[in-house]
């Protein structure tokens, strides 16, 4: 297969290089009134970069959240689910390097100690502190280093870039995005950052994502907006089909834009805001895929003609998660038969005689067989690029879905074989 490197070469790239799909740089994000960012560098696992973040929120800030559906969810996730019932928040308190997942009573105490210390420092209820942790699973630790550093943390006002760096693990670049909209004529801003590189097939969100807006939107409406936009962004990506124990996305609305009240999720005044929020979340989700561990190609899988949107998404995920599809693309092999295989295995309604498969906009197979004048050369040329398009029409109905993924290279093995070393 073309373009393969030795394991040693891949390891060197992993250690020294950004993802080849990385953006040119971190974007210039607008300040969000009512949000103060604080970071500190403690060297919990990763040296020389911030690894603890506290996003301080104006009193009364409305908070929405989505969390992993993993049945082995971390203590931080379990706390977040409970805190969300209050609908408001004063801080998002995050550490990188240890997920404190599957650590029993020690993990629960870790979260409780962080929450208690932050609530005392900010003078708020403990239920207004949201926590998140990311890193190695199953390694008990205490929160002492973090809570002892809280005065220094709160004294250090940080920018978006340091905040995005503070939540990274195996990420090769920090991820940020922003947009603006209007609600009842008032301009509102949205800005956010995320982390994620491996253990990515969220059933709700990416590994971690934090989004902020100065819009005035009540909790129930904000929650509906976040859930809907999540399904078309973070829930439509996969790197390796593995759902994290720590997945968390939180959305804070400080209300400082002063827009008139919205009446509900169907208020026409929210249309522009919903589009802008979706754009920010999709941008962040794409950046997670572009930073997939060992990734060299960004793959878009479009499925049409399914009997429902749900079946279209199942099909798209089956293609996007297939190791055979992903390795064929990594090796720049136009093996479209693997796409047909992935469609057939996933349990949706499909018929070879109705199926159409295209790569790079070129139809390869339809009506149960390869097209008569099939020429692999332009398809092979498309697969040699960094951005790959796969289109499948099941030929049954109106259900459609798009999923984004990356290829599977030796780099993924190198990163994960040595993750705890």
List binding-site positions for substrate: 169, 195, 206, 293, 416, 421
Mark 35-53 as b/e (b = at least 16 C-beta within 10 Å). Answer: bebbbbbbebebeeebbbb
Q: Residue for token digits 């100065």?
A: 214
Encoding tokens for residue 20?
């080849």
Binding annotation? 169, 195, 206, 293, 416, 421
Burial of residue 132 (CB within 10 Å: 0-12, 13-18, 19+) is buried
SS (H, E, C) 48-89: CCCCEEEEEECCCCEEEEEECCCCCCCHHHHHHHHHHHHCEC
Confirm if 242 and 70 have CB atoms less than 8 A apart: no
Closest CA to 283 of 193, 168, 214: 193
206 is catalytic: yes
Give phi and psi for 284, each to the nearest 5.
Answer: -65, -40
CA–CA distances in Å: residue 280 to residues 95, 254, 294, 322: 23, 17, 24, 28
Q: Is 412 helix (H, G, I), strand (E, B) or coil?
A: helix
Strands (E), 90-174: 91-98, 129-136
Give the span between the Cα atoms of 246 and 238, in whole angstroms. Answer: 16
Count of CA atoms in the C-beta half-sphere (13 A) of 138? 2
CA distance readout (Å), 100 to 91, 96, 267, 334: 19, 10, 41, 42
Tell me the helices (H) and strands (E) count for the chain, helix number first.
13, 15
Selected catalytic residue, list 131, 206, 405, 409: 206
Contact 193, 164 (CB under 8 A): yes
Q: Round to whole Å and give the CA distance between 82 and 162.
A: 28
Residue 95 and residue 100: Cα distance in Å, rounded? 10
3-state SS class at 11: helix
User: How many angstroms separate the first and last alpha carbons of the chain?
Assistant: 30
Catalytic positions: 206
């Amino acid at each position: 297969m073309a373009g393969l490197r030795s394991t040693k070469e891949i390891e060197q790239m992993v250690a020294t290089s950004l993802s080849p799909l990385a953006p040119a740089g971190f974007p210039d994000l607008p300040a969000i009134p009512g949000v103060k960012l604080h970071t500190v560098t403690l060297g919990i696992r990763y040296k020389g970069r911030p690894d603890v973040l506290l996003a301080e929120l104006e009193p009364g800030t409305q908070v929405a959240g989505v969390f992993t559906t993993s049945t082995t969810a971390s203590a931080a996730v379990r706390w977040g689910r409970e805190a969300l019932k209050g609908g408001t928040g004063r801080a998002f308190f995050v550490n990188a390097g240890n997920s404190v997942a599957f650590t029993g009573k020690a993990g629960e105490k870790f979260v409780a100690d962080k929450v208690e210390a932050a609530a005392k420092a900010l003078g708020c209820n403990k239920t207004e502190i949201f926590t998140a942790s990311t890193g190695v699973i199953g390694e008990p630790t205490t929160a002492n280093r973090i809570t002892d550093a809280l005065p220094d943390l709160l004294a250090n006002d940080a920018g978006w870039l340091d905040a995005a760096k503070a939540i990274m693990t195996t990420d090769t670049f920090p991820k940020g995005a922003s947009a603006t909209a209007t609600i009842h004529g008032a301009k509102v801003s949205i800005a956010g950052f995320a982390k994620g590189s491996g253990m990515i097939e969220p059933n709700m969100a990416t590994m971690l994502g934090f989004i902020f807006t100065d819009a005035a939107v009540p909790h129930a409406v904000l929650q509906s907006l976040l859930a809907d936009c999540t399904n078309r962004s973070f829930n439509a990506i996969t790197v390796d089909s593995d759902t994290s124990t720590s997945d968390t996305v939180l959305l804070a609305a400080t209300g400082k834009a002063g827009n008139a009240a919205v009446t509900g999720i169907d208020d026409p005044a929210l249309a522009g805001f919903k589009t802008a929020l979706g754009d920010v979340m999709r941008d962040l989700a794409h950046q997670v895929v572009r930073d997939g561990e060992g990734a060299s190609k960004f793959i878009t899988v479009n499925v049409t003609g399914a009997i429902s949107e749900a079946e279209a998404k199942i099909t798209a995920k089956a293609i996007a998660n297939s190791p055979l599809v992903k390795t064929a693309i990594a090796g720049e092999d136009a093996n479209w038969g693997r796409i047909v295989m992935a469609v057939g295995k996933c349990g949706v309604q499909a018929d070879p005689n109705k199926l159409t498969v295209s790569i790079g906009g070129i139809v390869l197979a339809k009506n149960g067989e390869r097209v008569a004048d099939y020429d692999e050369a332009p398809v092979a040329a498309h697969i040699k690029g960094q951005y790959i398009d796969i289109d499948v029409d099941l030929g049954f109905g109106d259900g459609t879905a798009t999923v984004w993924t990356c290829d599977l290279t030796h780099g993924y093995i190198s990163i994960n074989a040595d993750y705890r070393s």
